[in-house]
Amino acid sequence: MKALSGPTLAERLTLAGNRPSGFDYLRLVLSTLVLASHTINVCYGRQFTLDVWAGPARPFLAVILPMFFALSGFLVAGSVERCRTLVSFAGLRVLRIVPALAVETVLSALIIGTVFTDLPLQAYFADARFFSYFENIIGHIHYVLPGVFDGNPWGNSVNNQLWTLPYELMCYTVLTGLLFLGVAQRPRLFVPFLFLCNIGLLVAAVRKGIGPAAMVSGPILVQCFLFGVAAFLYRARIVWSHGLGALALVLTLACLGAPLGDYLAPLPATYLTVYLGLMHPHRIKVLFGGDYSYGIFLYGFPIQQAVVAAIGPHEWYLNLLIAYPITLTLAVFSWRVVEKPALQWKSRLLDLESRVIGLAQRMPGGRILCPPIGIPRR
């Protein structure tokens, strides 16, 4: 029973002033691991990547994204606690995602695309794929720019990392619906709903005869996000324990290495993520002048592809050594010039929310249309 003794997640949060540095380190490490794992894709191509994912390295590669989504769920649930209505909740998600995504999309199309396309610029700008690429800004993902990176091992893809973005948006959409219905504020409703969904996904996979997947599927990532929300809801009851953290690590890797085990991974992966996030090591200021993880995620794959196109075929470690410093520089630019200034619009968003609340109070049934959503403090 020693593994079950120790402070609760809520007590660990309080000890760190609700800002544990473990989550900051985890975001930076996970975004870096995403970039590092993509060196396999960009340097060796699709078939080699599939072969690697089918081998013994699979659990160690597959764990990255579930942890990322679980981390997001836990932190977003904390954000919900500070929001009055869905206006601020949805607005903050838009401010956090869209501006940086829009800038990355424009830079990829106008700079990376024009430098690396095999087409004449007139043909490049006239191609329908150039215009459709800008739909990335609204979450309709397009990977191809005309004539760009066609000769790379992972050809015809500028930003393959964005495949997870629709599922991230799905996470926010599902949580918004559950908040509106009052389910997410009630752990005794939310957690059974979550487990039923998880069981439903597993049963559907068994009935359809779905075999081992090359990558963790989008619906499972959404489950990890929701398990992260559940961990926050039950933070006053869940024990933070080194023993449970070690057990969660073993179970997560075992699940991700077993047939259909992905469907059992969200629970231990979430505990592992929150356990690591609630560690509170000293912050190194040079690393945490801002949150660079989103910028690393956005710019990593295009820069890695550009490195391959610029210097020709090379080994994965060389790609990492060249692409990572460039990507990190762009991530710092993204945070300081785009993301942080965008978040400063929060005050205007809150003013808008106050006006919406006032309007709802004067309307018949307005409270139903704009209900309070705060997660109870525990």
Give the pLDDT band of residue 287 (cuts 50, 70, 90): low
Is residue 271's pLDDT more than 50?
yes
% residues pLDDT > 90 (the chain) = 71
- Taking only the tens place, the pLDDT of each residue in 48-65 is 999 999 899 999 999 999
Give the pLDDT band of residue 85 (cuts 50, 70, 90): confident
Give the pLDDT band of residue 1 (cuts 50, 70, 90): very low
The answer to whether residues 225 and 73 touch, using CB atoms and an 8 Å cutoff, is yes
- Provide the 3-class DSSP secondary structure of residue 148: strand
pLDDT recorded at residue 377: 53
User: What gap in Å lies between CA 237 and CA 244, rounded to an integer?
Assistant: 14
Is residue 212's pLDDT more than 70?
no
Give the pLDDT band of residue 2 (cuts 50, 70, 90): very low
Give the pLDDT band of residue 259 (cuts 50, 70, 90): confident
pLDDT recorded at residue 294: 95
The answer to whether residues 139 and 122 touch, using CB atoms and an 8 Å cutoff, is no
User: What gap in Å lies between CA 319 and CA 36, rounded to an integer?
Assistant: 9
pLDDT recorded at residue 374: 65
pLDDT recorded at residue 284: 78
Ranked by mean pLDDT, the top range of 48-57, 172-181, 288-297, 320-329 is 320-329
* Dihedral over alpha carbons 21, 24, 25, 26 (to 10 degrees): 120
- Taking only the tens place, the pLDDT of each residue in 332-367 is 999 999 999 999 999 999 898 888 888 877 777 666
| 207-219 burial code (b ≥16 CB/10 A, e <16) | eeebeeeebbbbb
The answer to whether residues 6 and 237 touch, using CB atoms and an 8 Å cutoff, is no
User: What gap in Å lies between CA 226 and CA 81, rounded to an integer?
Assistant: 15
Calculate the average pLDDT of the chain. 91
Domain boundaries, the chain: 18-369
pLDDT recorded at residue 354: 87
pLDDT recorded at residue 113: 96
Q: Residue 332: what residue type?
A: V
Average pLDDT over residues 277-296: 84
Q: How far is CA 307 from CA 88, 173, 293, 316, 325, in A?
A: 40, 36, 20, 11, 12
Give the pLDDT band of residue 211 (cuts 50, 70, 90): low
User: What gap in Å lies between CA 84 and CA 368, rounded to an integer?
Assistant: 14
